[in-house]
Structure 1
């Protein structure tokens, strides 16, 4: 946390809050983008995985509690300046079911890392037609979609569903508690497949009513002011009653916004617990180019479209290795891995330890480590994790290159960019430069900018991003990785039937 600095602009401060997978973060910023102060609530064990394929969070005990704690921690450091706008982003898309009093009736079901609704994905795809779903919503149904998860609750927890009166994403749940408004932003709605019509930018009511059968939240763009802090929320958080609140959005899109990824051809690559990609696209280029391996969604700004992709594990895998070897400082593992040559001395890893989203969309995929030898060490395994993720990134960037234009700029963000080894390996494997922004706060900084735009303090085209260092690929390493890329691509189809059988054994043993 930084010491608070006085607001010399006289415009007041913008509060951005982001609810991440492993932590929540908040920032107070001036209208010129200067950060006054920030705070983080770490919570590495907040995601509950009670069964294989499940990923849940307590919306009140985690997300709302984090918001209250962050507000109580930051507001006294505002140096006498008023907070004049609030915006919240969060993991998503999620399914938070609440009763008439907005009390959650069950834990929130998380985004694509929760893979329970495979049967419902197949059912809805058959019901509406794969081509029709892709054409209307821009995205094939997968574990990322909210609709199949809603249907799963109806099928498996009918008593719970019977108590549900409204549903939310992580950010819209907090917005409801802050303002009393039942609103969802257009971007998040466009990931609630198959309920949203991308061309009409509205709910497609025949499919919405069929799948959700609950009142539909009002739609708004992420920077749009949708309400104000209520007296009850003010008492809990310390925010002044009447403070404007924007709609907010999914964290990855807020982070892309913070990093200045706003023009067609620009791609944000987010290094986090999972790896996520957001690419801005020309709407006219996507008219007839919906790729079922990518998610075509509404963007952050009105009239924009994005294509996105996500891997199910990335930083969580490096944490797994660290836990496995026990007691070794993370920095030491990185240092040891940096001494291992490219290719990890013949070790190749598929990073599908929690199933996989892009590019295989297989919730029963599992991790594979090929080529293990007695001479391999923990350093080899650690580097092989970085390289396995890098090969997955290479496959996804190749998808983003076509057919709707090429990747013109790659902006790397997230906690994994703080060191140099991981980003260097990714550039070496992909052969692409990466720009790492100077300001590394993340989605909460994008939220503050959205609040500044939504409250009219700055023009809509304002960009706070400042380019930092550039990661340039090594030609020598690239040659090694080019020789392994085809082997990596062959490893999944060669082992798929075996790991599916093993995944079935894991699930049958879950009780």
Structure 2
């Protein structure tokens, strides 16, 4: 007897993940493919987009072999973003995909757009000021810097929309992803800003827009033969991974804040009003009628992985030594800006700083300070969101970093926030599978699944009041250290670029 389920696949920064999920939310099987991004120059972060499709195919086939009686009712997709993948008329990429805000190459284009259009008008139309997260500026960079590639560019994709195209033949982009293609999307009109698209993105065809949970189409005969999926299987439009992760843990209602613990850290606050603040990202939500105020650290898990590689120690060792180090890491404070920083300082030329080092400090202190640095970055974002008027009623944690206790506890202690942790924290692939299940149920006129039943909260992390005073002082030093070191690290960043 066949088992009805949905397939969810997410293309992430350091890996792609796939899951098969039963109709009641039970995780039947999961699989992962590791990959690396390319960093050809300082500030550039790219990826060969053909990997996205090859890994989807590999994951789908492995999962279907693992659960041979699986009957896939729908396919969910998501991916990192906002990315810029430009393709020609035959859907051949004209260059590697330019990744999201960790890629900081488009500074000159941002300056020109601000001059041409006006900073206030850009924020009025798109909701946010331009930053390294703005995909529209990266499209303009290709037009300026790579004319041969630009001459062939005809379509714009992100990881999820690329998979939708390969699976169904549909050319479509979800509203949430489009709203991060700043300044080319009008957030209140929920539509492309036609005159600005023509000014900066012509001759690329603007993708038709839909919502993340809408059905893009059915699996084509060609895609079915390649993937092992049945021809005609519905595929959703999908969206950016952070928003799909929010769906996976039910953190997409008004008043919710999702914290995504991954290679980078991401925060998504959901409301029903458009909130604007210069240092955060105002976007359309994953669902009609919602708006998000979002932020992201450029490093989190990437920073801890860097320390693990540098010290040649495994994570259990480092975590044990970090716990022994204790709050404050024996007098260290770290700025986690090892890849520049996104929100709330919006400074691509920021760099990592470790202050207070002595010969007595060890790797456990460094690791503890790195964990605290990401927590301090989260607090900086949360306080900025609240100052903008965000009503944060509920915090939900998701991602690979939620598996242990220490990192979660440090974030709660530093921010003063209670965090809820659901049963399944595998992330965006699970959320994509849920969106597919909901889309298929809606099409059939059946009862919609509930994420609270699929994935209930099983842990709550409560701040330790005994650490509050120490972390308040550390947060003050964190803010002052950035201001005090900024001029020096900007000079170093310029030197790094000159040597690239």
TM-score range, shorter chain: over 0.9
Identify the residue that residue 17 of structure 2 maps to in structure 1: 25
- Aligned partner (choices 97, 103, 106) of residue 117 of structure 1: 106
Identify the residue that residue 26 of structure 2 maps to in structure 1: 34
| Structure 1 runs (4+) greater than 3 angstroms displaced | 457-461
**Equivalences, count:** 494
Identify the residue that residue 452 of structure 1 maps to in structure 2: 437
RMSD: 1.3
After TM superposition, the structure 1 = structure 2 runs for residues 110-509 of structure 1, keeping only pairs within 5 Å, are 110-213=99-202, 214-283=204-273, 286=274, 289-326=275-312, 328-456=313-441, 459=447, 462-463=450-451, 464-509=454-499
d(CA) in 2 for partners of 1:405 and 1:320?
33
Q: Secondary structure at the match of 2:325?
A: coil
Contact residue 19 and residue 63 of structure 1 kept, 8 A: yes
- Aligned partner (choices 32, 48, 62) of residue 58 of structure 1: 48
Deviations 1:283-322 (A, max 9, x none): 2xx3xx4111111111111111111000100100001111
Contact residue 64 and residue 70 of structure 2 kept, 8 A: no
Contact residue 222 and residue 248 of structure 1 kept, 8 A: yes
Q: Residue 167 of structure 1: CA displacement?
A: 1.2
d(CA) in 2 for partners of 1:52 and 1:417?
30
Deviations 1:213-237 (A, max 9, x none): 1111111111111211111111111
Deviations 1:449-490 (A, max 9, x none): 111111225555732331011111111112211122111111
After TM superposition, the structure 1 = structure 2 runs for residues 87-98 of structure 1, keeping only pairs within 5 Å, are 87-98=76-87
Q: Secondary structure at the match of 2:269?
A: strand
Contact residue 190 and residue 198 of structure 1 kept, 8 A: yes
Q: Secondary structure at the match of 2:28?
A: strand
Q: Secondary structure at the match of 1:381?
A: helix
Contact residue 398 and residue 426 of structure 2 kept, 8 A: no
Identify the residue that residue 14 of structure 1 maps to in structure 2: 6
Deviations 1:354-389 (A, max 9, x none): 100001101111011111111111111111101111
d(CA) in 2 for partners of 1:6 and 1:374?
63
Contact residue 350 and residue 488 of structure 1 kept, 8 A: yes
d(CA) in 1 for partners of 2:355 and 2:12?
32
Q: Residue 131 of structure 1: CA displacement?
A: 0.7
5+ residue gaps, structure 2: none
Larger mean CA deviation between 398-407 and 263-272 belongs to 398-407
Q: Residue 6 of structure 1: CA displacement?
A: 5.9
Q: Residue 65 of structure 1: CA displacement?
A: 1.0
Q: Residue 42 of structure 1: CA displacement?
A: 2.2
Q: Secondary structure at the match of 1:456?
A: helix
d(CA) in 2 for partners of 1:478 and 1:177?
51
Q: Residue 262 of structure 1: CA displacement?
A: 2.3
Contact residue 281 and residue 404 of structure 1 kept, 8 A: no
Q: Secondary structure at the match of 1:193?
A: coil
Contact residue 6 and residue 78 of structure 1 kept, 8 A: no
5+ residue gaps, structure 1: none
Contact residue 88 and residue 152 of structure 2 kept, 8 A: yes
- TM-score relative to the length of structure 1: 0.94
Deviations 1:204-254 (A, max 9, x none): 101111111111111111111121111111111111111111100000000
Q: Secondary structure at the match of 2:268?
A: strand
d(CA) in 1 for partners of 2:283 and 2:170?
24
- TM-score relative to the length of structure 2: 0.97
d(CA) in 2 for partners of 1:319 and 1:71?
28
Q: Secondary structure at the match of 1:339?
A: helix
